[in-house]
Amino acid sequence: VKKLIIKGGQLLEGEVHISGSKNSALPIICASLLCQEFVKLFNCPDIEDVNRLLDILRELHVDIKREADYIEINSHSLKNIAINSANVSKLRASYYLMGVYLALFNHVQINMPGGCDLGSRPIDLHLKAFRLLNGKCEVNYDQVLIDSKKLKGNKIFFEIPSVGATINAMLASVFIEGKTIIENAAKEPEIIDVANFLNKMGANITGAGSCIIEINGVKRLKGTEYYVMSDRIEAGTYALMAAGRGKEVDIVNFNHKYNNGFIAKLIESNVKFKILDNKIKILSSKDILPLNLKTGYYPGFPTDLQQIYLALLTQAKGISKVQDSIYKSRFKNCYELNKMGARIIVDENVATIYGPHHLNGAEVTATDLRGGASLVLAGLMAEGTTTILNPEHIFRGYSGILEKIRKINGNITIA
């Protein structure tokens, strides 16, 4: 069992290069199975969630070649078998195999997908979409079984604009004759990236990024090459580290077009920065101001950055409130931050942060991916040594985090 050890107080300086997007790469890797030819994917992040997904695919007889700068996937021998790898229950994104298998085989049997524990994470909207496309869905304990004689196009309205359900509905419907329409679709940039990839393979999808997506079925897809977009959450994470402890840090491959909600909050909390072409330069930011921060569906403030922003707000001059309207229990990191000297009170889905409180190094536990990243930021800002237990949560979603932090002068080791 490993631990991360951070010696706090160093001033961060230099450049961080942002990797490919996790929440784009995972569905794109699954989508590549739809063509059953060679697909070459550039800019996939080197993270545990991708490794787990590739392991699941290998068990399904997919050929995978992983080179330093690309992954080549060939699924011509993909097997129509039950997907019951132990990895399925550790990886939320394994639900994308439902849409893919339905499209290819009209059938899928898969374990219930797992992922970070953020409170209840149902898949009812995914199943609703499959039912509307003429699938029969059964859930028995931890097994999901979906079957269809023939999938049929339909209009799918989502009560909640779910990222996963929207992508799954696109995947399931690429080959359906005629038109499928998704209404109140999620608008996250990752959905545009997945649709662009599918279209590059020959699919006919329009409207991705808006709340109505239209899929016109095609007969087949062909192999292609694709460059995955950069990770807006990883970019935000390093920007917040720089805001907390930076002298001058350039976050390279920062896509400002997709980060407006985040940038607006940086301004409000008095973080000093400059936006240049493909990067954001975070300057030394001494007087962080408190915030009211509410997460929302895109283009709202991303829930995936809420826990990390919250760690920065422990140093703001005054009282902040952070409310997560997407995942009501995404606050487990607060108890750990309090062990380091923060003063945070959590009441249902609202955290009140009393700042500024001096942080001291302590032994803390990463309970989920983004919560883990918030502890890394706290460790960098704290005086003394912070030990983070269960760092494997962090490695699920942050590519080369140790190297990246060391490159900007942070003192972080693994033991």
Distances (CA, A) of 59 to 78, 119, 175, 183: 9, 30, 25, 35
Catalytic residue among 30, 35, 44, 116: 116
User: Which of positions 290-309 make contact with ligand EPU (CB under 6 A)?
Assistant: 303-304
Could you tell me which stretch among 78-86, 124-132, 176-184, 399-407 binds ligand EPU (CB under 6 A)? 124-132
Q: Identify the residue among 44, 53, 88, 125 touching ligand EPU (CB under 6 A).
A: 125
Cα angle for residues 340, 344, 347 (degrees, 5° grid): 140
Is there binding between residue 62 and ligand EPU (CB under 6 A)? no
Could you tell me which stretch among 79-87, 141-149, 163-171, 246-254 binds ligand EPU (CB under 6 A)? 163-171
Give whichever of 94 and 315 is closer to ligand EPU, judged by the CB atom.
94
Is there binding between residue 123 and ligand EPU (CB under 6 A)? yes
Helix (H) or strand (E) holding 105: helix 96-105
Is there binding between residue 164 and ligand EPU (CB under 6 A)? yes
Q: What residues contact residue 126 under an 8 Å CB cut-off, 6+ apart?
A: 95, 98, 99, 162, 164, 165, 168, 169
C-alpha dihedral, 363 to 116 to 184 to 200, nearest 10° = 110
| Alpha-carbon span 394 to 415, nearest angstrom | 15
Asked if 294 contacts 261 with a C-beta cutoff of 8 angstroms, the reply is no
Q: Identify the residue among 28, 60, 73, 163 touching ligand EPU (CB under 6 A).
A: 163
Is there binding between residue 348 and ligand EPU (CB under 6 A)? no
Helix (H) or strand (E) holding 386: strand 385-389
Is there binding between residue 172 and ligand EPU (CB under 6 A)? no
Beta strands in 130-268 (DSSP E): 136-140, 143-147, 155-157, 179-183, 204-206, 212-216, 225-227, 246-252
For helices 96-105 and 163-173, angle between their N-to-C axes, nearest 10 degrees: 10
Is there binding between residue 369 and ligand EPU (CB under 6 A)? yes
Is there binding between residue 232 and ligand EPU (CB under 6 A)? no
Count Cβ atoms within 10 A of the Cβ of residue 350 and give its class: 0-12 exposed, 13-18 middle, 19 or more buried. Answer: middle
Give whichever of 202 and 299 is closer to ligand EPU, judged by the CB atom.
299
Is there binding between residue 231 and ligand EPU (CB under 6 A)? no
| Residue whose tokens read 């450049």 | 15
Distances (CA, A) of 69 to 41, 190, 193, 225, 398: 9, 20, 19, 12, 17
Q: Identify the residue among 124, 177, 225, 403 touching ligand EPU (CB under 6 A).
A: 124
Cα angle for residues 83, 87, 92 (degrees, 5° grid): 90
Minimal distance, residue 146 CB to ligand EPU, in Å? 14
319-323/292-294 β-pairing: parallel
Give whichever of 125 and 359 is closer to ligand EPU, judged by the CB atom.
125
User: Which of positions 379-408 make contact with ligand EPU (CB under 6 A)?
Assistant: 397
Minimal distance, residue 409 CB to ligand EPU, in Å? 26
Give whichever of 8 and 372 is closer to ligand EPU, judged by the CB atom.
372
| Residue whose tokens read 């490695």 | 395
Distances (CA, A) of 369 to 41, 127, 152, 243, 331: 24, 26, 38, 20, 12
Minimal distance, residue 159 CB to ligand EPU, in Å? 8
Minimal distance, residue 22 CB to ligand EPU, in Å? 6
Smallest CA-to-CA distance from 247 within 281, 210, 298, 287 is with: 281
Total of residues contacting ligand EPU (CB under 6 A) = 26
Is there binding between residue 162 and ligand EPU (CB under 6 A)? yes
Give whichever of 52 and 279 is closer to ligand EPU, judged by the CB atom.
52
Minimal distance, residue 397 CB to ligand EPU, in Å? 6
Is there binding between residue 251 and ligand EPU (CB under 6 A)? no
Give whichever of 156 and 288 is closer to ligand EPU, judged by the CB atom.
156
**DSSP assigned state of 256:** G
116 classed as catalytic:
yes
| Alpha-carbon span 12 to 266, nearest angstrom | 18
- The residue number with the shortest CB distance to ligand EPU is 164
Minimal distance, residue 137 CB to ligand EPU, in Å? 12
- Catalytically active residues, by annotation: 116
- Interface ranges with ligand EPU (CB under 6 A): 22-23, 26, 92-93, 116, 121-126, 160, 162-165, 186, 188, 303-304, 326-327, 369-370, 397
